[in-house]
Structure 1
Amino acid sequence: MDQNVQKSLLFFFLFVACMAASGEECAEPMTDAWIIDKPIDVSGALGLSDLGEMLLYENSEHGFSVAYPSSWRAEEPDPNDLGVVVGFLAPDEDIDDPKNYLTVQFEVLPAGLTLEGYTEAILANLRGSYPDFQLLAEADMKISERPGHVIAYGVTVEGTAYQVLLAYTIKGDKAYIITYYALSESYAQFEDDAKRMINSFVLS
């Protein structure tokens, strides 16, 4: 991957990764199916024949797979300190200046960190980093048949409004974080795709 692609993908994640850097956990209830509705059945292995217009991204090094629409584009950054494994660009996105995309990253956690503590840390980090942070919704959910949590929020970055859907689970000493990041005006356009991708995430 050339340097421009790497820099662009890392730019994706700077916004996302800052919230996970505090090293605590998560858990919280509430909200309706507005966040993650009609989940894809991930109880068995995903096969391309079952996905229709979906493609399957698999990463054996980090032990996960995720299905993504064929109209989206998967990009892997070079090794980085942010734990970013892969990014998925929405249709017609510019790799050098992406606005709507989904990422998968991981974070190594301190021993004993819980989902609830991780959630508290994420929310504290977001509130401290963005004065206009707006929590839109949050809920517990299953991710790869494991306890997980999802947070929907809005922020403004350099005068531009963004809406973010952040879902995560913990396995062993790692948090796995899936983030849909979009311009507020574009969020609804790709929301269903993003939810399908989050629901299709499977840990080995």
Structure 2
Amino acid sequence: MAIAITVAVGTPGYMPSEQISGNPDLRSDIYAVGIVAIQALTGIPPEQLPKDVNNEIVWRNQAQISQELTSILDRMVRYDFRQRYESAEQVLQALQQLSANSTFPPTILPQPTRHSLPWKWIIPLFALTATITGVSIFRPLLSPPPPAPIELSSYEDSEVKIKLKYPETWNREDLKNPITGEWVKFSPKQSTTKTSQEQVTITIENFSGTLEDSKNKFIDNIKNFQNGQIISSNSTTLAYRPAYQLIYTVKDGDNNLKNWRIWTLKGDKTYIIVYTAAIDDYDKFVKTTEKMIQSFKID
């Protein structure tokens, strides 16, 4: 069972955007199981399922199941992982509640009603429950234990109307550079004997184009001016707005750096967050950076 789950979670089409970008979350497993269920119900491979303008999967018209189960599966496969169930236990509770609301005569096959599932979907429902239970049980064996909670401080700038939470053990440097657009920089506190490249920078630039235009601009700049290499690129959300993200490497003198750039547009401004670290140290603070990005707000 553990091997099958590992393959399903890591297979293209079953991976959500945060997993593709190298930042998996426990809720990535919930997405994968939801995709398996939708494929079982529709018979359509995940890569062939259409998506709407918000990158949400469109599948309801391909399966005849109850509205209640549809809503559960929709929440499991939300594009923004923060909108999914937070744990396998929550999914199980929702399914158990749904099952408790379904009543069946002892000697005949039940007919669909407003409060019950069609009988032919009971087996997929049980299979879905068993799969989620397997993910919940085996995930701790497949992954290292979670890090200790990070204590966060609040940053707010009323001039540009942005908010962010960052580790209270990190340094903050207010840049407010009108030429480069670099507004504020956060970096881990290091001893005087250690050189490190880890930092998170927020940049605000004037921009009048579309999100697609900004993506093309950044990719062109990375490839042609920084001599960088794009590792991955995909759409996402930032401050609850449509956004894009790039993961790429560049060489800065003798240093090989890995970067995670995520940005969104509002009005005529581009709001950019860039996490930079030496390639070997990139994973050290990527989860911390993820929490910072999740807390970012534009008022």
| Both structures adopt the same fold (TM-score exceeding 0.5) | yes
Aligned to 2:231: 136
Give the equivalent residue in structure 1 for 2:206.
108
1:23 maps to what in 2? none
Contact 1:93 1:100 in 2 (8 A): no
Q: CA contact under 8 A between 2:222 and 2:229: conserved in structure 1?
A: no
Give the match for residue 117 of structure 1. 213
Please give the per-residue CA displacement for 1:15-65, whole angstroms capped at 9, x wherever unaligned. xxxxxxxxxxxxxxx9552435547959xxxxxxxx961111001100110
Q: Does 1:171 align with 2:266?
A: yes
Q: Which runs of 4+ in 1 moved over 6 A?
A: none
Instruction: Provide TM-score, normalisation by structure 1.
Output: 0.72
In the TM superposition, what whole-angstrom CA distance separates every residue of 1:60-86 from its partner, at most 9, and x where no partner exists?
100110111111111102543111111
1:130 Cα deviation from its structure 2 partner? 2.9
**Residues 63/37 of structure 1: CA separation in 2 closer, same or farther (3 Å cut):** farther
Aligned to 1:187, which of 282, 289, 293?
A: 282
Higher strand share: 1
Q: Which of the pair is proportionally richer in helix?
A: 2
Residue identity opposite 2:213 in structure 1: G
> Structure 2 vs 1, CA of residues 153 and 181 (structure 1 numbering), >3 Å: closer, same or farther?
same
Residues 41 and 200 in structure 1, CA contact (< 8 A), matched pair in contact too: no
Work out the percentage of aligned pairs sharing the same amino acid.
24
Partner AA of 2:258 in structure 1? Q
Within-5 A mapping of 1:71-86? 71-77=169-175, 79-86=177-184
Which is bigger in relative contact order (C-alpha 8 A, separation at least 6)?
1
Pick the structure with greater CA Rg: 2
In structure 2, which of residues 228, 249, 253 is the aligned counterpart of residue 154 of structure 1?
249
Q: CA RMSD in A?
A: 2.4
Which residue type is aligned with residue 145 of structure 1?
A: Y
Provide the secondary structure at the position in 2 that maps to 1:152.
strand
Output the TM-score relative to the length of structure 2.
0.50
- Structure 2: any 5+ residue segments left out of the alignment? 1-15, 26-79, 84-148
